[in-house]
Amino acid sequence: MRVRIKFSKHGVVKFIGHLDIMRYFQKAIRRSGIDIAYSSGFSPHQIMSFAAPLGVGYCSNGEYMDIEVNSHQGSDQMLTALNEVMVEGIEVLSVVALPDHAGNAMASVAAAGYTIEWKEGYEPLADLEKTVEAFLNRDTIPVVKQTKKSELSLDLKPGIYELTAKENCLYFLVDASSSGNIKPTLLLEALYRFAGQEFDPLAVQITREETYTALIDGERRTLVPLDAVGEKF
- Measured CA distances, 202 to 53, 61, 66, 69, 70 (Å): 20, 20, 32, 41, 44
CA torsion sign for 214, 145, 141, 127 is positive
In which element (H, E) is residue 133 found? helix 128-136
d(CA 88, CA 86): 7
Beta strands at 204-217 and 59-68: parallel, antiparallel or unpaired: parallel
Instruction: Report the share of the chain in percent with pLDDT over 70.
Output: 100
pLDDT over 90 at 169, yes or no: yes
118-136 tens-digit pLDDT: 999 998 888 899 999 999 9
Residue 147: what pLDDT?
73
181 touches 167 (CB < 8 A): no
pLDDT over 80 at 167, yes or no: no
Where exactly are the structural domains of the chain? 2-107, 108-228
Mean pLDDT of 131-152: 88
Which pTM value belongs to this model?
0.92
* Residue 205 identity (one-letter amino acid): Q
Give the alpha-carbon dihedral of 73, 75, 79, 80, to 10 degrees: -50
Q: In the CATH hierarchy, which fold is given to the domain comprising 2-107?
A: Alpha-Beta Plaits (3.30.70)
Categorise residue 136: left if φ over 0, alpha if ψ from -120 to 50, beta otherwise: alpha
Mean pLDDT of 33-43: 92
- Measured CA distances, 207 to 62, 80, 181 (Å): 9, 25, 16
* Residue 198 identity (one-letter amino acid): E
d(CA 191, CA 135): 7
